[in-house]
Each structure stands twice: as C-alpha cells, then as structure tokens.
Amino acid sequence: MQSPPSPTCSETNDFLPLSQLRVEECGSERAIGKLIQELKSYIVTDIPRMRSTVSFYVCYLLCLCLGMACVMCVCYWNAHWRGGFAWDGSALQFNWHPVLMVTGLVVLYGNGAVLYRVPLTWGENKLSWKLLHAGVMLLAMVLSVLGLCAVFGNHNHNHIPNLYSLHSWVGICTTALFTTQWVAGLVGFLLPCSPMPFRKLLKPVHVWLGASILLLSIVSCISGINEKLFFALKANTNGTKPYAMLPPEAVLGNSLGVLIVAFGLVVLKILSNPNWQRPEPRSNEATYRPLLQEDT
C-alpha cells in the first residue's frame, strides 16, 4: 500500500516555524489553519493591546508615585519649615491650606479622574466604579472646602482682607466649578429620574470640565506656592535668606510646584489617550444610562 504524501503546512503559513511541520506531526490541515489564524490575530490585535495596557500601567504607576511625592513634599514643607499645624486662627492654621488643597484638589481629584481608565475596572459591573469615582471626588471636595476654611479662618482671625489676590480669585472659581461639576454629575448620572437628553448633553461637558478643573487647580497651586514663598522668604525676617538667594525652603517649594505640574501632565496624558478609554456599549446601546439603571 502506498503511503500518503507528507505535505507540509507551508500552504497556510510560510513564516512561522510551524510551516516546517508535517501534517501527521501537528494535526489535520484544518486544525493547523485555525491555529495559525489564531496566532495571526494574536499578533495583529492582542500584542498592540497588551503593549497599550503595559504603557497605561507605566503611566498610572507614575501618576501614583508623583501624587504621593506631592503629598509628602507639601506635608514636609509645612511641618518642617512652617512650624507644623493647629486650628486656632494662627499661621499654623494656614499651614493646613496648602496640604488640604494639594491633597484634595490635585492628588485625590487627579486619581479620581483617571479611575475609569484602569482596565481592571472595565468588568461588567460599572456601578461600583461609578460610586467609587463619586466617593473619591466627594472626599476631594470635602478636603478642599476644609482647606479654604483654614485660610479664611486665618485671615479673619488676623484681620487680613479676603479674596484680594489673583491666586484667591482663580482658587475660589476652581472650587466653585468643582462643586458645580460634582452636583451636576450626581444629578445627571446618579439619579434615575434625570432625563436622557440631559445626560447625553452632560457627558462631554463633564469630561471637558473635569480636565479643565484639574488645570485650574494646578494654576491655583503654582500661584499659591509662589505667593507663599514671596511672603515667607523676605530678607532679614526670621533669619531666612530671601527667595532670590534660593534657600533650601525655596528649593522645596519650587520642587513641589514642579511635581504638581508633572502629576497634572501625566493625568492629562492618561485622560487624552483614546486607547485607554473605557469601552462604551456599541451602536444603539450607546446611550448614557443613569448610574442606578446600569449594571444593577
């Protein structure tokens, strides 16, 4: 009896090592074709997707590290160079202001904003992540309101006028916008009774305003740090060198500003990359459903 020829798999694939295998060695021709198709689709779609996921996590790690560095830096500045903390109207009460603003309106806010971009949160149940997003933003808002109470209390206690500086104008507008954004998000995306056209209209505004508030927070912080360093580091006061001589405290304050800007840039990079957006339901499902109707 004549034995069948021993064809190779080269008709279906001519660049993988598998092409050198004989059919009887690697299964039927059809099975090999299927395997090769799977390998091709893996190479074409899964490898770029994996690369994108890895670069996301690198950025996310950077975001977490920069955020922690900002919080440590602002705490160290006020604890070590500005005498620590109290809630008695004194300068020590003021020290809560930068700490709470940077922690709330920059670091917590930025982390809350990128929460949906984490691929781990793309599972079926969006509800819990929406609640977490709203919760982190609420905490950020509470901290920033406390930060404002610290500075207003300090000004009132020492008969310093309120809201005279450019920093305070930008800062108060930022906090007001953030509060409005949070309330609108709550009403639009959480309440089941909110009308669909309102939700559809709100989503792009919410996304745009979210990034704008972060930018405004960074502007507020930079101007606040600069102002504080000018106030605190005057020549011949408390034995400190003037700001222009770049004493160690000025180096720390400037570095805090650089860290805040770097954190903001990483967050904005994460928010602006379309590959890192949470996949939305396609075609006719693509309407934005309120939180309590979703994934319950």
- Applying CB under 6 A, which residues contact ligand HEM? 97-98, 101-102, 105, 148, 151-152, 155, 162-163, 165, 167-168, 171-172, 174-175, 217, 220-221, 224-225, 227-228, 231
| Residue 43: count of CB within 10 angstroms of its CB | 11
Q: What is the C-alpha to C-alpha distance for residues 231 and 293, in angstroms, rounded to an integer?
A: 52
Name which of 59 and 259 has its Cβ closer to ligand HEM. 259
* Rounded (5°) CA angle 295-213-148: 110
**CB closer to ligand HEM out of 75 and 127:** 75
Which residues, in sequence order, are CB contacts of 101 under 8 Å at separation 6+? 143, 144, 147, 171, 217, 220, 221, 224
Q: Rounded CA gap, 175 and 145, in Å? A: 8
SS3 22: strand
Residue 13 or 220: the one with the smaller Cβ distance to ligand HEM is 220
**Closest approach of Cβ 69 to ligand HEM, in Å?**
14
203 Cβ contact list (under 8 Å, min separation 6): 288
Burial class (CB within 10 angstroms; exposed 0-12, middle 13-18, buried 19+) of 195: exposed
Between 212 and 287, name the residue whose CB sits nearer to ligand HEM: 212
- CB of 97 or CB of 126, closer to ligand HEM: 97
DSSP label at 225? H
Closest CA to 266 of 60, 22, 27, 81: 60
Two structure tokens written together for 8:
């190779």
Of the pair 106, 271, the CB lying nearest ligand HEM is at 106
